[in-house]
Every structure is written in C-alpha cells, then in structure tokens.
Chains A and B, each alone.
Chain A
Amino acid sequence: MIPGSHCLILSAVLFTLGVIGVFIRRSAIVIFMCIELMLNSVNLAFIAFARQNQTLDGQLIVLFVMTVAAAEAAIGLAIILALYRKRKTLNVDEINLLKG
C-alpha cells in the first residue's frame, strides 16, 4: 500500500516545479507547459485523496479537470498563435503593451 502522504508530497513537489517554471521561463509556450504540469500535480492529489477516502469522487473530478484542461490548452494555444502572428516573438518580456 502506498502511503497517501507520499503521493501528496509528490504532488506538492510537482506543483512547486510548475510554479518555479512559470516564474523563470520567458517563452509563452513553456510557461503554458508549466501550467499543465501544475494541473497534473493537482490531478495526482485528487486521486490520492480518492484512494485514501475509499470513494470515487476524486476520480470523477479528475475527469472533469482533464476536460477543462483540454479546452483551456486549445484556447491558450490559439491565443499564443495569434500573439506570435501579431508580435513576431513569444518572449513575455517584450509583450508589454499594457506596461505604464
């Protein structure tokens, strides 16, 4: 049996890696990939809790999280494509039209 706390700590480590990636990287598409990493870590936490509480609610929620993540990935990538077409760069330091 896998201790539930081990799974949750793995989920915490993966979430932190995603957060560090969002702060460090400069390319919009890699930032998006780190957001997907965070979503995956949350999925792992849900499944760990579903196993710990002996229910299936966590697995159902993971199904919905995956669906929403797919929709969000499609729209986000369309936005990134439109951004690249307009500004010819994906470096988030240079996409600063709203900067004062």
Chain B
Amino acid sequence: MNLVLPIFYILAFGAVVSGVMVVIQKNPVICAMFLITVMLCLAGIYLLLFAEFIAVVQVIVYAGAIMVLFLFVIMLLNLEKEVKAIIKSPFQKVAGLVLGILLVGVLAAAVFAARQPVPGTQAVEPGAVSNSISIGRMLFSRYLLPFEITSVILLIAIIGVILIGKKKL
C-alpha cells in the first residue's frame, strides 16, 4: 500500500497550518518556533521528492543555524508581544483576505497553464547513484563559478555583519 501521497498531504497540511500560525501569532518566539516547524515539514517533503541532500542541508543550515540566529536576536532584544496594526476600516481585513486568495489563484493558474516538462542538462533516475554524489559532481563541474561566488558572498556577509554590529562605527 502506497504511503507516499498520504504522508505528503499530512506534511503539506502541517506546513500550511504552521505558516498560518507564523503570520498570526503575537509572540515573536512562538513565530520562530512555527517557522522551524514549517522548515521541518518542507524537509520531509524534500525527502519524498528524492532530494535527500537538500533535505538534510535544510535541517542543518536553515532550521539549525539561521533560525537559531533569529532566536538569539529575539532573546537579545527581549521583545515583548507586538501591538496590533492600526486598521483604519474593517473593510481592509476582508479586502486583504480576498486579495490573498486571488494571489494563490493567480499562482495556481500559472502552474496549470505551463505543463510541458523542459529537458534539463542531465537526466537522473532516483536510486541509481547517491543524490549527494550527483550533486557533488554537478557542483564542481558545471556550477563551479556560482560555488566560488557564494564563498565571496559569505565573506562579504561576515564583514558586513561585523561592521554593522559595532558599537561605534
């Protein structure tokens, strides 16, 4: 009995519910916790989509480093619950909800309009070669220039963070 589709629906439902809680919650720490839940659900979906390396990298880098950085900053700033936005008229809430649903509709229409698969560079059948090996091969042959450029980006980020975070510039 095939369990892939039910597990996908459970993970998708968990991701959407956690996303709604991220947008709704008043306490920023709870928002960060629900964002971590979204990332873990997405990592599970990546596993179902034959992207094991990306799933593990998502858990380690996104949920394990970036969100921890977020929580450090939230705790450092000692943020309280946030005040509500000033809503000039009750019509704004309804209009916002309708426009949000319209945005999902537009994106979904784009999904159903363009259906032909585009032939890519290297055909891959899942399971023949390990996903990490294939990604490593492509990363160091075809995507070598972006790989080196990301190292420069990270260096720039480190320098920028140190400069911006100084007490006196």
Contacts and interface: CB of A to CB of B under 8 A. Distances in A.
Interface of A: 1-2, 5-21, 23-27, 29-30, 32-34, 36-37, 40, 43-44, 47-48, 50-57, 59-60, 62-64, 66-75, 77-82, 84, 90-91, 93
Interface residues of B, number: 77
Contact of B49 (A2, A19, A60, A90): A2
A20 B123 contact: no
Contacts of B22: 17, 21, 30, 33-34, 37
Contact of B35 (A37, A53, A57, A84): A37
Interface string B48-61: 11110110011001
Contacts of A5: 111-112
- Chain B facing A: main interface SS: helix
Contacts of A48: 49
Contacts of A18: 19
A52 B79 contact: no
B66 A82 contact: no
Contacts of A93: 85-86
Contacts of A30: 22, 28, 31, 82
Nearest to B150: A67
Given A47-B54, A56-B124, A60-B143, A66 B135 contact: no
B69 interface: yes
A96 to B, nearest CB: 13
Contacts of B100: 16, 19-20
A41 to B, nearest CB: 8
